Structure 1
Amino acid sequence: MMGKAVAAVLTLLLISAVGTKGKALPRSATELRCQCIGTHSKFIHPKFIHNVNLIPSGPHCKNVEVIATLTDGREVCLEPTAPWVKLIIKAILDK
């Protein structure tokens, strides 16, 4: 009986870990950590992107973070080294 409970808990932990890939963490008043716990590198058509935040690396996080807000309200962390994301970053910086 104890083995089934342990297996159920481990399964729930695994499912919750898989579901977090590419999502931005909720922002707090003091952002002293990275916002992205994983990144998304597959192409997202620009018509589905409402806004893009570019967060440079610094003392709070060693990574450059690119967080896209989609038209349905979801926030997705984009992989900064993906070619299509580089084009978005260049367009933002050129403005």
Structure 2
Amino acid sequence: MIQVQFTDEQLIIDMARDEIKAKLQSVESEFVFWDLKTLCEKTCMSRSFVLETFFFLPDFPRHKVGTKWLIPAKEASEFLLKWLKQQPRS
């Protein structure tokens, strides 16, 4: 029989949390494209806010295929991080 004792429970919790974050990031990176609904879900922003604020900016990566907007996930993430840093803080 093997018995393992941990003296630092917080260290184990932190290690588990880091592993879970890494797995979630890899799952999220599996998306190649987002649609407009997914973009809104990923950013926690309403459709109207997204459309009024940054969706139609010339630099925002989007492609209309038929009647559907497709947004490259990685490019959109990078754009949004840059865009957010440029926003005034109140």
Q: TM-score range by the shorter chain?
A: 0.3 to 0.5
**Larger Rg over CA atoms:** 2
Greater fraction of residues in helix: 2
Q: TM-score, normalised by structure 2?
A: 0.36
TM-score with structure 1 length normalisation?
Answer: 0.34
If asked which structure has higher relative contact order (CA below 8 Å, sep 6+), I would say 2
Higher strand share: 1
